[in-house]
Amino acid sequence: MTETSRQERILEVFATLADTLVDDYDTVELLQMLVESCQELLDVEAAGLLLADENGDLEVVASTDEESRLVETIQLSAEAGPCIDSFRTATVVSVPDIASAPEQWHRFKAAALQNGFASAYGIPMRLRDTTIGSLNLLRTHEGQLNEMDLRAAQALADVATIGILHERSLRASDITRQQLQLALNSRVTIEQAKGVLAHTHGITTDRAFDRLREYARGHQLPLSLVAERVVRQELLF
C-alpha cells in the first residue's frame, strides 16, 4: 500500500466512524472495524479493544485474531498490562520491548511473547473526563511505533468513543450504560456463535467470525442478531 492510498483509506475509516454520529450503528461492528483498520493501516500486526461495562469492569469486545484476544484476556485476568494501565490513567502506554516489561506484568509478558508479539501500545478511549476502554496495538518486532501512527490510532479511538457516547445516549446516563452493556453481551453471543460454526464446519474460529460478518453484511442484518440466531439454531450457513 502506497502512502497516498494509505492516507485515503484512513480518511475513509474516519468518514465511516463519523457516520455513527448521525446514523444508527452496530457498536460491536464499529469496534471490530476500528481494530481491523488499525491492523491494516498502522505499523502493527494485531489489535484488540477492551470496553468497560456498567460497573467499570473491562471486557474484550473486539480483536483481530485469537492470539491478540488471548493477550487481552490475560491482561484482564491479571489486572495488569499496557491496556489496563492505559484505561486507568487515560494516557498512552508504550511498551517498545515486551521482554523488558515490568515484573508486575509478567503474565501479560509471557502470553504476548508466547504468541509472537514483541512490543505493545495501549491507547485510551476517552472523551474529556470519561474513559470507556482502551485500544491495544501489538507488533511482532521491537521498537517505538512512529509518532504519526500513534496519533492516527488515538484519533481513530477518539472518534469511535464520540460515536458511542453520542448526545443521543448521553441524554440519560442509563441509556449509555445500556448501550455499552449491550455491546458486551453481544460479544458473548458472537463468541458462542463462532464456536457453533467452527464446530459445525470444521473451521477455525477466525474463519467462523468471517462467515458471521459476511452473512450479516450480505443480508443487511446486525452482527449480534445473526449470532443470536446461530446460537439458537434458528440459522445455519
pLDDT of residue 178: 67
Looking at residue 185, its pLDDT comes to 78
What value does the mean pLDDT take over residues 5-9? 75
Q: Are 139 and 43 in contact (CB under 8 A)?
A: yes
**Cβ(90)–Cβ(126) below 8 Å:** yes
CATH number corresponding to 185-231? 1.10.10.10
CATH fold match for the domains 3-169 and 185-231? no
Q: Residue 88 corresponds to which cell in the numbers above?
A: 486507568
CA distance 164 to 26: 10
State phi, psi for 130 to the nearest 5 degrees. -110, 125
User: What are the extents of the domains in the chain?
Assistant: 3-169, 185-231
pTM above 0.85, yes or no: no
What CATH number labels 3-169? 3.30.450.40
Nearest to 74 by CA among 118, 108, 110, 123: 108
- 122 φψ region: left (φ > 0), alpha (ψ -120 to 50), beta (else): beta
| Interval 118-134 mean pLDDT | 92
Q: 31-89, pLDDT tens digit by residue?
A: 888 899 899 889 999 999 998 877 788 988 899 999 999 999 998 888 999 999 999 99
